[in-house]
Amino acid sequence: SSNPARFRCSVKLSTMSNGEGAVRFPLSASSTLVIQKGDITKWSVDGSTDAIVNPANEGMLGGGGADGAIHRAAGPDLLQACYSVPEVRPRVRCPTGEARITPGFKLPASHVIHTVGPVYRSGSNPETFLSAAYRNSLTLAKSNNLQHIAFPAISCGVYGYPYDEAATVSISTIKEFADGLKEVHFVLFADDIYDVWLEVGLEAKKMG
C-alpha cells in the first residue's frame, strides 16, 4: 500500500489472525465474518457444507476473471451444470442481483453459488443490485443447509465497482443476513482490495 498508516495497521492485525491475512469478526453468537487474502478456487472449510460464490454474468456460461478461474478449477462438468440452469429469458439464466446454485465438481468446496453483480454506472442504484447479490447468495446457501460461504469482491473487477463503496455495501449486507451460517468469508485476490475490506470491516465493528 502507498498509505503507510494503513500498511502498519494491516501488519499489526495479521498477528491476531490464523490464515493468509485472515482476520475474524464475530457477528453473533453463532456466525463469524472472516476477511482474508487468497485464491477463492482453493478455499474450503470442511468441503461438504461449503460454497464459493462465482461473480458470473447473466448468461452463466463462464467468462474471465474469477469466473474463468472457477470454471477451470471445477472442470468442464461445471459448464454442463450451468447449461442446465433454465433460461428466464433468452440467454439469461441469472438476472443481475439473483443467485443460482450448482455442485462444485473438482473444487474443494462442494457447491458454487453463481451470482451477478451490477456493472457500475450501467443503471441507477448499483448498491441495490450489489446488496441483492450478496443477500440472495446467503439465502441460497442457508436453504441448501450449507454452513460456510466464501465471496470474492463481486463487481470489483471487469464490472468496475469502486472498492470502498463495494466493501461498505457487502459488509453491511452480510452483517444483516449472515445469521444461520457459521462462517462467511471474503477471499480477496488483490492486496489493495484486502486493505480496503479490512478497513471497512474494522469501522463496521466499531459502530457495532
φ, ψ for residue 13 (rounded to 5)?
Answer: -65, -35
Say whether residue 204 binds ligand AR6 (CB under 6 A): no
Q: Considering beta carbons, is residue 146 or 188 the nearer one to ligand AR6?
A: 188
- Contact flags string 11-50 toward ligand AR6, x per CB under 6 A: ----------------------------xxx---------
Say whether residue 126 binds ligand AR6 (CB under 6 A): no
Give 32's strand partners. 26, 183
Q: Considering beta carbons, is residue 180 or 183 the nearer one to ligand AR6?
A: 183
Place of cell 455495501: 169
CA distance 154 to 132: 11
Q: Considering beta carbons, is residue 79 or 158 the nearer one to ligand AR6?
A: 158
Say whether residue 158 binds ligand AR6 (CB under 6 A): yes
Q: Considering beta carbons, is residue 105 or 159 the nearer one to ligand AR6?
A: 159
Distances (CA, A) of 148 to 83, 122, 186: 25, 32, 11
Q: Note if 179 is an active site residue.
A: no
Q: Which of 20, 53, 24, 54 is nearest to 37 (CA)?
A: 20
Give 103's strand partners. 111
Q: How many residues does the chain have?
A: 208
Residues that bind ligand AR6 (CB under 6 A): 39-41, 55-57, 63-67, 69, 117, 152-159, 187, 189-190, 193
| Catalytic residue list | 67
